[in-house]
Amino acid sequence: MHRVVALVHPPQSTFELACAAEVFGKKRRELPTRYAFSVCTAVPGPVSTGAGYDMLVDAGLDALARADTVVLPGRSDPRRPPSPATVEALRAAHARGARILAICSGAFPLAYTGLLDGRRATSHWAHAGELASLFPAIGVDPDVLYIDHGDVATSAGAAAGIDLCLHVVREDHGAAYAATVARNMVMPPHREGGQLQYATPPPPARLDGSLAPVLEWALGRLAEPVGVTDLAARAGVSPRTLARRFAEQLGVTPGRWLLTRRVDAARVLLESSDAPLDTVAHESGLSSATNMRRRFLDVVGTTPGAYRRAFRTTAHHGTP
Note the pLDDT tens digit of each residue in 184-230: 887 766 665 555 545 555 555 555 556 888 888 998 899 999 999 99
Of 144, 163, 197, the position where a domain reaches its end is 197
Q: How confident is the model at residue 97 (pLDDT cuts 50, 70, 90)?
A: very high
Are 237 and 267 in a shared domain?
Answer: yes
Bridge partners of residue 7, in order along the sequence = 40
Q: How confident is the model at residue 80 (pLDDT cuts 50, 70, 90)?
A: confident
Bridge partners of residue 58, in order along the sequence = none
Looking at residue 189, its pLDDT comes to 64
Q: Is residue 206, in this structure, part of any structural domain at all?
A: no
Are 39 and 157 in a shared domain?
Answer: yes
State the average pLDDT over residues 165-171.
Answer: 89
Of 197, 230, 258, the position where a domain reaches its end is 197
Tens digit of each residue's pLDDT (9 = 90 or more) over 114-129 = 999 999 999 988 888 8
Of 197, 225, 257, the position where a domain reaches its end is 197
Looking at residue 318, its pLDDT comes to 40
Query: In which domain, by residue range, is 82 found?
Result: 2-197
Contacts of 89 (CB under 8 A, 6+ apart): 61, 62, 64, 65
Looking at residue 316, its pLDDT comes to 40
What CATH number is associated with residue 152?
Answer: 3.40.50.880
Are 153 and 243 in a shared domain?
Answer: no
Show the beta-strand stretches assigned E in the chain. 2-8, 35-41, 45-48, 54-57, 69-72, 99-102, 120-121, 139-140, 146-148, 152-155
Looking at residue 186, its pLDDT comes to 73
Looking at residue 181, its pLDDT comes to 86
Q: How confident is the model at residue 313 (pLDDT cuts 50, 70, 90)?
A: low
Are 193 and 218 in a shared domain?
Answer: no
